[in-house]
Structure 1
Amino acid sequence: MKRAWILPMLLVVCGSASAAGLLLRGSPGTAAALLLVFVLLAGVNSPLIFPRSIDALEAQRRSAVDGRPVVFWRPGCTYCMRLRIRLGRDARRLYWVDIWRDTAGAAAVRAANDGNETVPTVLLAGQAYTNPDPAWVREQLSSPA
């Protein structure tokens, strides 16, 4: 869990230090704008923009029941952010597994990707799809199970 927050916290600390330096030089407006940019970057790179993660075994169990896809992701992954943002509200209908918090999820991703932890990996009906097009994922949500 700690690993997921390293980058966001580093961004906040660096932004705060840079803003403090600008504040000491007499540029409060620039300091506030810079701090805001760093805080926004930290938010985008944090686990907060993703729906709540569940463990891989529970996600696969639920997916077997209702046919909804499972998405394996990790914080800081630009492709995961792209998928999440392009799905919009539909992202809540998927099961999200943070591979940095769930070892079984990380193992499932490695098994599907020749030993690599390539994310996002979407699991649908037992078949893994690595970095699929968000439009395709949305289609899978609207098609009958």
Structure 2
Amino acid sequence: MMRLWILPVLLVLCGSAFATGLVFAGSSGTATTVLVAFLALAGVNSPLIFPRSTGAREAQRSSAVDGRPVVFWRPGCTYCIRLRIRLGRSAGRLHWVNIWRDPAGAAAVRAANGGNETVPTVVVAGRPHTNPDPEWVRAQLSPSA
């Protein structure tokens, strides 16, 4: 669990240190802007932005029952963040698997991507799709799909 928070904590600490230096240099407005930017980056990279992750086996079983896609992701991945943000509220309807926390999920991603852990990998109806367009993923959630 601590591994998930390393990057966000480092971003907050670095931003705080940088902003403190700017305050002592007399640039309080710039310091505020820098601190807000670092806090935003920390928030985007925190585990709070993604829905609760499940294990790969559990996600695949649930997907077989309800037909919803499985998204394999990892913290800090800019493409995963882009997918999550662009999906908006629809993201909660997907099954999310953090490959850093689930070895079976990492193995599934490597099997789908020629040995590489390329994420996001979205599995729809048993077929993997690497870094798909968020609009396409949203379309897979519609009842008519």
Q: TM-score range by the shorter chain?
A: over 0.9
Q: Is the 8 A contact 1:4 1:74 kept in 2?
A: no
Letter paired with 1:83: L
What letter corresponds to residue 67 of structure 2 in structure 1? G
1:1-145 equivalences under 5 Å are: 1-144=1-144
For residues 130 and 32 of structure 2, what CA distance do their matches in structure 1 show? 39
Range 65-74 or range 132-141, more displaced: 132-141
CA contact (8 A) 1:19 1:34 kept: yes
Q: TM-score, normalised by structure 2?
A: 0.93
How many residues get paired?
Answer: 145
Secondary structure, aligned partner of 2:97 = strand
- Cα deviation for residue 95 of structure 1 reads 0.5
User: Once the 2 structures are TM-superposed, how far is the Cα of residue 122 of structure 1 from its aligned partner?
Assistant: 0.6
d(CA) in 2 for partners of 1:143 and 1:116?
Answer: 32
**Percent same amino acid among aligned pairs?**
74
Partner Cα distance (1:73, 1:110) in 2: 12
1:60-118 Cα offsets, whole Å, 9 max, x none, are 11101100000000111111111111111111110011111111111110111111000
DSSP-derived class of the 1:49 partner: coil
Runs of 4+ residues deviating >4 angstroms: none
* Matched letter for residue 131 of structure 1: N
The Cα RMSD (Å) is: 1.4
Structure 1 residue 46: deviation in Å? 1.6
